[in-house]
Each structure stands twice: as C-alpha cells, then as structure tokens.
Amino acid sequence: AGIGYGGSCLPKDTNGLLWIAREAGYDFKIVKSVIKVNERQYKIVIEKLQKYLGKLKGKTIGVLGLAFKENTDDIRESVSIKIIGELLNEGVELKAHDPKAINNAMKVFGNVAYFEDPYKMVKDADAIVVATEWPEYKELDWRRVKDLMKGTLMIDGRNLLDSEEMKKYGFTYEGIGRRK
C-alpha cells in the first residue's frame, strides 16, 4: 500500500538483484514484479486526482513532502518528485512543503511554489497530496488545513493519517491501497 519506494539505495539494490539473477540464469519474477508495481504506484495519485477533479489543468495542488522518506533532505528517486513532474505536465499550479528538502527540490523544479509553513502551502488548494510520512504532518491542525483549502480532496499517498478522522474534518479522503 502507498505510492511506492524511492531513495538512492532500494531502487538500485532491486535492480542489482535482478542483474545478479540474470547473470546466474535465474528469472527472479518476484523482484521483477516488485519493480514493475513500484514504477506504476505513484500514478495512482494522478488517477485519483483526475477522478475527483476532472481535468487538472489550472487546479492548485499542494504536495506535503518532497524527500523520499522522512528525516532527510534527500530527493533522489523520490516518489514526490515523480508526482510533481506528472502534475506539472498536466498544467497544475503546484505548491509544496517539506521540513528539510525544499532547497534540493528547487534545483529540480523552479516552477513550483515552495513554502516553509504548511498552512500557507495549503491555502486555496483544490487538493493536497501527502507524499512523505513526516511525523509533523500527523500533528497538523487538520481542521485548520481544511478551512484554508479551496477544495476538500486529500490523497494520502503514505496512509499516514486516520481516514475516519479526516472525513470527520470534511475531507474527501483517499489513501492508496487501503479500504478506508
């Protein structure tokens, strides 16, 4: 469940395992499948946004989290970066927040509005995407977030938040790969 893995090690290591298996004459189907699923997982976010918002061009989307995981500024192979690239291709006005990775992300995407304050980032957003499981995001005042947004859609790509609680705040909540 979730939008997939990234970082500098796991993608390289799974591909390395595949190479070793091929060299040994072994068809490592499970690792092939893991890589294939991971390469597609982030696109579920785009599909869910389109399901609720229709055409994304001109919509304002906020992304919470740029690093490939919490407690780092590392954006190498970050799923967030893949999502942002797709959304920019769709013509989205993109806003982003991350406690540590903003400077690194700015080197990749200059056409994103970056915010050090998550509450300023969500202001007037049609939807938000939780893309990194920073503990700080669990602690946000979600009632305030909802009141600041223009829309109500939340795509929780990390299944970080309690779906029932988010619905009580008035969000149209979608996790990835979970029932609620």
Cβ contact 60:87 at 8 Å: no
Q: Is pLDDT above 60 for 88?
A: yes
Residues designated catalytic: 9
Q: Is pLDDT above 60 for 180?
A: no
Contacts 24+ apart (CB under 8 A), 5-8: 5/38, 5/68, 5/79, 6/68, 6/69, 6/76, 6/77, 6/78, 6/79, 6/82, 7/68, 7/69, 7/74, 7/76, 7/77, 7/78, 8/74, 8/76, 8/77
pLDDT at 62: 98
Give mean pLDDT, residues 58-65: 98
For residue 60, list its beta bridge partners.
Answer: 93
Give mean pLDDT, residues 48-58: 98
pLDDT class of 7 with cuts at 50, 70, 90: confident
Cβ contact 43:86 at 8 Å: yes
Cβ contact 2:8 at 8 Å: no
Mean pLDDT of the chain: 95
Residue whose C-alpha is closest to residue 162's, from 140, 52, 144, 123? 140
pLDDT at 75: 96
Q: SS3 letters for 8-45?
A: CCHHHHHHHHHHHHHHCCCCCHHHHHHHHHHHHHCHHH
Spatial distance between the Cα atoms of 136 and 83, rounded to a whole number of angstroms: 21
Q: Is pLDDT above 70 for 171?
A: yes
Spatial distance between the Cα atoms of 176 and 122, rounded to a whole number of angstroms: 21
Model pTM score: 0.92
171 is written with which tokens?
A: 């969000």
Give mean pLDDT, residues 29-44: 92
pLDDT at 87: 98
